[in-house]
Structure 1
Amino acid sequence: MGKSQSKVDLYAAIRRDHRGGMSQRALQRKYNVTWRTVRRALDGQWPEPRKQQRRRESRLDPYKPLIDGILQADLDAPTMQRHTAQRIFDRFVEEHGADDISYPMVRTYVTDRGPEIRRDAGISTRHAACCG
């Protein structure tokens, strides 16, 4: 099955070629599929919809509301007193014993989330210094 071909198209092509006289074994070889796939297509079944991938939980998830709170509190703080990603990380390690998170995890979250929090608060992000 080619990358650009959907399963619905594949099933339709298998049915069409089978009506044209191709054997099931030839269909397997031509479309590089198993006999079960050929059988399902010929039985008139529709391909099963793709399963939705469950979002993998991050070790940072329990700390995200705390980080959001820090970033929201920093909206009112003078520029030089705002938390950097490093300071937030250090606080979590010291105050919460968060040895299971890494600095890059915190930095990425703060870099992505900081502008969203400022935008939600109605503060322009164009001239604001990033908090990372």
Structure 2
Amino acid sequence: MPQIQSIRQRRRNGESVASIARGEKVSEPTVRKYLKADDLSARPPVRRRRGSVLDEWIPVIEGMLAEDRETWHKQRHTATRIHERLRDEYGVEASLSTVTRTVARLKREFMAEREMGFLDLSWHPGECQADFGQVDVRYRGVVTRMRHFVLDFPYSNIGPSQLMPGENAECTCQALRNLFEWLGGVPRRIVYDNAAGVGRRRFDEIRLTRLFQAFQAHYGFEYSFCNPYSGHEKGAVEARVGAVRRRLFVPVPGVWSLDSFNLRLPGRCLELGDKDHYRKGESQAGLFDEDRKALLPLPAKP
């Protein structure tokens, strides 16, 4: 899935099909196939007939590799040493070649996610941050604690929101899809406060859910994550989460239909931006028009 996204991104940047094929080490027909695809949404998972003998030991291997990142480079694990430790300490019966392939794959995934995790605090039109907050609503007569998802555009200081029952991948992708359709386009880059709803953070690594990977490839936006313990990177979205909660969820609102409530919610969030930007001195609504003009087009199929 990351390679499909890379192919489509390079094409949007004006690169030729032949150049993309050489860069991605695939054939030109393969490049054209992925460029023509108008539906990259998730497919029902296909159950594998037989899993790898190392599947249940992946957390152990990841732990060894995580320890290496805090160790002098000359005293780090090789694949052979990991194979020996798995055999001697855990009784794992796996070949050296299987362990070597698994270690190489985990290292590649870590490096790719680390590169995508770099955060640039210079915000441009069409870029945004995403985060969840907690709110109480009177859902069908019963006070229920739910989550409000906020997609904050720091360039304009506008943050449309959606009310969701939880913070899992399904809720995240549904909230994003609703907001993309309301916006009429797709943000160029989305920065997440943490991995909630899109993956799981383990030490310095973030493992994305398959659903979010497919969703991101389908809509074509870039993504990154705030660095741990870096509050200055997420102050804007946290402030927007609090502002939406105070202005639109106090007093506790009554909700009968989530779909109907969410249909009106982004417009109400936009009304909160009927003032000048706190730094730029320009109308937030006018700046938000620039955000919307910078959006990527929606795919042919949702």
Q: Report the TM-score when normalising by structure 1.
A: 0.48
Which fold has the larger relative contact order, with Cα–Cα distance below 8 Å and residues 6 or more apart in sequence? Answer: 2
Q: Which has the higher strand share?
A: 2
Q: Report the TM-score when normalising by structure 2.
A: 0.22
Q: Which has the higher helix share?
A: 1
